[in-house]
Amino acid sequence: MTGPSIPRLLLLGTGGTIAGTAPESTQLNRYAAGVIGAEALLTTLPQLNRLAEIQVEQITNVDSADLGFNHWRDLVSRLRQILAEDPGLVGVVITHGTNTLEETAWLLQLLIDDPRPVVLVGAMRPASALSADGPLNLYQAVQVACSADARGRGVMVVMDGQIHSARDVAKRATQGVGAFHSAARGPLGWVDDFGVHLSGVERSASVPFAGLSLPTIWPQVVILHGCVQPSAALIPALLSAGVEGLVFTGTGAGQLSAVERNALAQWQGPRPLMLRANRCGMGPVHRCEDHARLGLLPAGDLSPQKARVLLLLALINGDDRNTLASRLMVV
């Protein structure tokens, strides 16, 4: 008589610090990211054999600061393919660098329409470091991906024992294993040696661009950072260059300066789709009539980088300003 079968899982490697190495085990900053393959990461964690049968594929192996739209396209394509072709797969874990992890997680949330868990995981210390956090983070990510309670929760991020939603998670520190948080709503739950503990409160995890085909060449969407006396030449230069989208990281609650407002008011050419986010790291941006007359839409509580991801996909989809405004009400 055979025992119960263990779940099958897909691990997709993309690189990052979790796959990084340094010359010395005490070096936490001077290291090369994206050196160790995903298959090699598993060999250091034989304990994973108790949790799942894991299939491994390498999408890329880079520092996440060097991820490009081609990497995103490859990742989304493979995810969609394997989820469609293999109904017996319980979930997917993606190893990823922490620098842009929140952007990739949000991209996948907007594109991947499947109830099975997709969990991103990274590390703040390279694999060669004393007390490297990657192995436990990876183990716990697999725990979450195998959990029945994680189904239907949308794309998630597991770091330092916490489970975050793709929409809310953000990297808040350059160092330390507790660098990720979900400021506005808090984490979805936590994971430890007793299991996966998820809140009973369901959060919206809409997938507005399910089925959207990603192009080889993506739109140009630029983030502008608000500050004291911004350059009067920057906005006209970008508009003249034909950028298709702008995200303003406004001061306070997403406010643009008079210099920026005047530059937009004086522009006589076609206007790109434009969003207002804020540089505070927490709190919403609401509709403002003065800004709305210039064509600016509020990004709500999306960070500038997540607002850019949404705007990129909206442009690829051919959204106009009214359609984008409707999407912002539900994401």
If DSSP states are collapsed to H, E and C, what string results for 297-308?
A: EECECCCHHHHH
Torsion, Cα of 270, 209, 58, 146 (10° steps): 150
Decide if 216 is catalytic: no
Where do the DSSP E strands lie in 97-208? 118-121, 156-159, 162-165, 170-171, 180-181, 189-192, 195-198
Match 């008589």 to its residue by tokens.
1
Cα dihedral sign, 331-14-76-225: positive
How many C-beta neighbours within 10 Å does residue 212 have? 16
CA end-to-end distance (rounded Å), the chain: 49
User: Which residues share a beta bridge with 158?
Assistant: 121, 163
- What's the CA gap between 191 and 184, in Å, rounded? 20
User: Which residues share a beta bridge with 91?
Assistant: 9
Structure tokens, 12: 């997709």
Among 2, 14, 17, 95, which one carries the catalytic annotation?
17
User: Which residues share a beta bridge with 222?
Assistant: 246
- What's the CA gap between 236 and 107, in Å, rounded? 29
Q: Is 193 helix (H, G, I), strand (E, B) or coil?
A: coil
Please give the positions annotated as active site. Answer: 17
